[in-house]
Amino acid sequence: MSGIGNKDFQHSYATSHNLISPKPQNAITIAVSSRVLFNMEKEQQIYEQQGMEDYIKYQVAHETEPFSPGPAFSFVKALEAVNTQLRELYPESEELFDVVLMTNNHAYVGLRLINTINHHQLFIERFCMTGGNSPIGYLKAYHTNLYLSADPLKVREALEEGIAAATMFTPEKMKEVSETQLRVAFDGDAVLFSDESERIYKAHGLDKFFEHEKAHENKPLDHGPLKGFLEALGKLQKKFYGKGQRMDCPIRTYLVTARSAASSGTRALKTLRSWGLEIDEALFLAGAPKGPMLEKIRPHIFFDDQMFHVEGAAEMGTVACHVPYGVAQRVTEKE
Please name which of 47, 41, 48, 102 lies closest in space to residue 70, comparing C-alpha atoms. Answer: 41
CB 164 within 8 A of CB 145: yes
Alpha helices in 64-130 (DSSP H): 73-89, 110-119
The amino acid that residue 224 corresponds to is G
Cβ neighbours of residue 29 under 8 Å, at least 6 residues apart? 97, 98, 99, 100, 142, 143, 144, 145, 146
In angstroms, rounded to a whole number, what is the distance separating the alpha carbons of residues 252 and 183? 5
Contact (CB, 8 A) for 282 and 252: no
Angle at alpha carbon of residue 72, lines to 329 and 272, rounded to 5°:
55
Is 151 a known active-site residue? no
Cα angle 311, 312, 316 (rounded to 5 degrees) comes to 110
- 328 within 8 A of 198, measured Cβ to Cβ: yes
Catalytic site residue from 8, 98, 151, 187: 187
User: What amino acid positions are annotated as catalytic residues?
Assistant: 187
